[in-house]
Structure 1
């Protein structure tokens, strides 16, 4: 990106020698920040601003070839004239005044492999500069012709330009939400793009940070707002003349994500104003009702209030990259909704002989370790110990908590869970796989030299309302198949992959199963890392009666 910016500045300086380099750089950065236009696409406009005469931009006279791709992994930052079929996940309309004219744009998320040929789906951000709102309906499958790739801070996105063509291959039926209509704060984490919310400010912190390029500092205000459904963080890059406890309406704020957690970005195009509602909950009521539990924790959350029971607590000494000796305390915590890890960078004076101990944590943050939330305590003032038990102690923290798939997919990542559902799909890539020895990622080719052999089973289960991706690692697969990996390899060589998948489907497909393990829930969906799998014994007559009763037959 820096090389691209330097080349663009150099091109302008050559034709506009009287212009200041700092002014040119500032103009390019404005196009990137305000309009999401990279320097190479903003070059003509910047030249027009600083040039008094004709603008000359060197372009190739050759005919540009069409690059047809099937997935986002095949794209690079300098690709132009792209043709790809995608599924539209979200579309957020946005009106912006450019050169004195009102211009409708849009942005959102698209997903590759819309027909499920590879079974591996990836999502990418896109920006629509050509007012294709009628063809980019969420849920539709389209072919984008003439798109281009943009790179910003190492992340690729797709530009749908004014001369791009959108061909609708399958109609979508989702409604594009109105940006002016407020939504509940609890819905923000499941949305992307621009939203409007009404909430009361529950925290506010003024901060100054250094710019990434070291050119200066930026003032910002961070905090949280809440309504009766939940709370969400916000970052304001402009002056915010509202204090804690004020009820405000934030109109057209952009949703940004820190890891798996959404927060509202308030910029120059966001409108913030006081709001009046005599029935809106007061600050104290919101603070008491917005306490989290473990099932609701997500990677990247900040300023979290939660009460937990500490089951075990250990002290660990280590040497950091700078050679300094450090001490960290960590352990396992639990509440009635689940179990996770907790880490403290200060001594909490917890005696293992006194465990379990109940504590209330205020203003802590959440990280993720292998998909499992890790509550992080930065100072001991965030911790309040309780002399008495808050709830009846959960005796065995290794017990599996039974929940429905619906609850699982709508909560955060957790360990020690049990759920059940019907197996509706067995993946063809179940069985022996090969991983890159350095990074444990799957090999994309048939060359297995230097690779590590592994075993896994993959399937999808459904409870009638939601579906869940299920993975059994080597140990769990060996237990279910009742064969070691080497024994299974010999068995697979005898019958072949096709026959193995056929047999596996005859054993599992359509059956009710119970699985135990841990969940990983993120923007890509819900996945269950299974430790144990059991097929439920169902009496046919009893099961048919349940179905008839459920559907009123």
Structure 2
């Protein structure tokens, strides 16, 4: 997007933000969202307004901390104290920008409502389910129009000794909504899903010194598949069809997961799906933006850009993360090993998605091998020349990519398992476009 086009959205945002960000920073933010992350203008505006607070909330960008009930949260607070009960708690390891990190997530509730939370510095945090805590200096965001509570490096959590919080019981069975697996998205709750169990696994873990068993796998219907997890043993078996009532959805990196909680009802039903193809789910990018992510997704679109970090890169020999100047964020100074990849921006007319393509497919699609890339970089004295060569070969090609789609504040991103260039019949596509235009006149 050129400067003149950026100026239109700049003017809109400047008026709404009302001096909460200077002009140079606002233009930089817009350029990052629209030209680097390739999100839609509406998504860019939402992201910037969330970050800098365009709704006039008095709790945004202030040194004073406010105390709020869960139902009063707007999703724009930057310094807020929340006293609530831990209804659900989960501690896990994730990787953020190549660095391992421990986070604590779950659901908080008070007498006014519930909301999901994430503690981003969770190494020394131990929360007890059912206990009441004060989240100090928290900030909130909106995801799929639902408030999420976050605790960063400036925040802390303290147990609220002697404080009682009564969370209203949820009305479940009467309001459970039946939904197809292909329509599931992050944030929906109290749903009924019917599907065939494709796989069953169980893991033995230790939670607060007590052994626990987690049951998980894949469940599918004629519209798609989804991962499920359960803390109770429902004696699930691969191949049987079940109806799950009062389930809820949580997401990991934007990929929805079906959770069978304590109040879930599971029954066996007759299988009416016939043959289920669980290999690949064909979707538009608009579908992915709406849902948030998914497993084994196939998307076809045009390569419109090659992002920074493409071409010849270097990886840590121990953890395989990309390194810069021989420095791994986890293992420090290392002797890196070379690799080849593409970070594409794919556009299908309904939206754009980032897609990371591995060495094998990069070599096959471009004809540039890793050895050739190393030789070219050495001969030119510039490793960026490899990315430029790849860009000339791949941009504006029509491509189908398949893989798992993750999602964050900048939109969906696919980790590609398979990629292929599609043959384009220019005459047929021009004829189709002409017919569409003629029909619209």
From 334, 355, 369, the equivalent of 1:450 is 334
Match of 2:395 in 1: 509
Distance 1:466 1:382, change over 3 A: same
Q: Structure 1 unaligned runs (5+)?
A: 1-85, 95-103, 132-146, 154-190, 195-206, 212-216, 224-232, 236-254, 266-282
Match of 1:7 in 2: none
From 115, 126, 145, the equivalent of 2:31 is 115
- For 1:299-378, list aligned pairs within 5 A: 299=186, 301-318=188-205, 320=206, 322-351=208-237, 355-369=238-252, 371-378=254-261
- For 1:136-285, list aligned pairs within 5 A: 209=85, 219-222=110-113, 257=141, 260-263=143-146
Match of 1:466 in 2: 351
Q: Does the CA contact (< 8 Å) of 2:244 and 2:266 recur in 1?
A: yes
Secondary structure of 1:538 counterpart: coil
Q: Quote the offset at 1:120 in angstroms.
A: 6.5
Secondary structure of 1:325 counterpart: strand
Distance 1:469 1:445, change over 3 A: same
Tell whether 2:310 aligns with 1:414: no
Distance 1:409 1:126, change over 3 A: closer
**Partners of 1:335 and 1:347 in 2: how far apart?**
22
**Partners of 2:54 and 2:401 in 1: how far apart?**
43
Secondary structure of 1:410 counterpart: helix
The structure whose RCO (Cα within 8 Å, separation 6+) is larger is 2
From 518, 529, 546, the equivalent of 2:404 is 518
Distance 1:549 1:365, change over 3 A: same
**Partners of 1:391 and 1:499 in 2: how far apart?**
51
Q: For residues 56-105 of structure 1, give each alpha carbon's deviation from its aligned partner in whole angstroms, at most 9, with x where no partner exists.
A: xxxxxxxxxxxxxxxxxxxxxxxxxxxxxx969979989xxxxxxxxx99
Match of 1:397 in 2: 278
Secondary structure of 2:389 counterpart: helix
**Partners of 1:322 and 1:309 in 2: how far apart?**
33
Q: For residues 237-256 of structure 1, give each alpha carbon's deviation from its aligned partner in whole angstroms, at most 9, with x where no partner exists.
A: xxxxxxxxxxxxxxxxxx95
Q: Does the CA contact (< 8 Å) of 1:425 and 1:459 recur in 2?
A: yes
Match of 1:427 in 2: 307
Tell whether 2:293 aligns with 1:293: no
Q: Quote the offset at 1:362 in angstroms.
A: 2.6
Q: For residues 378-399 of structure 1, give each alpha carbon's deviation from its aligned partner in whole angstroms, at most 9, with x where no partner exists.
A: 33x51322330142240x422x
Q: Does the CA contact (< 8 Å) of 2:295 and 2:404 recur in 1?
A: yes
Tell whether 2:439 aligns with 1:543: no
Distance 1:492 1:293, change over 3 A: farther
**Partners of 1:210 and 1:498 in 2: how far apart?**
49
**Partners of 2:54 and 2:432 in 1: how far apart?**
49
Distance 1:340 1:493, change over 3 A: farther
Q: For residues 332-380 of structure 1, give each alpha carbon's deviation from its aligned partner in whole angstroms, at most 9, with x where no partner exists.
A: 11223322211111111123xxx3222222332333345432222233x
Match of 2:267 in 1: 385
Q: Does the CA contact (< 8 Å) of 2:303 and 2:396 recur in 1?
A: yes
Q: TM-score, normalised by structure 1?
A: 0.49
Over aligned residue pairs, what C-alpha RMSD do you find? 4.9
Distance 1:541 1:219, change over 3 A: closer
Match of 1:178 in 2: none
Match of 1:239 in 2: none
Q: Does the CA contact (< 8 Å) of 2:197 and 2:236 recur in 1?
A: no
Q: Quote the offset at 1:546 in angstroms.
A: 2.5
**Partners of 2:28 and 2:180 in 1: how far apart?**
35
Q: Structure 2 unaligned runs (5+)?
A: 1-8, 39-46, 67-73, 78-82, 88-107, 118-138, 149-170
Q: Quote the offset at 1:482 in angstroms.
A: 5.9
Q: Does the CA contact (< 8 Å) of 1:338 and 1:416 recur in 2?
A: no
**Partners of 1:152 and 1:486 in 2: how far apart?**
57
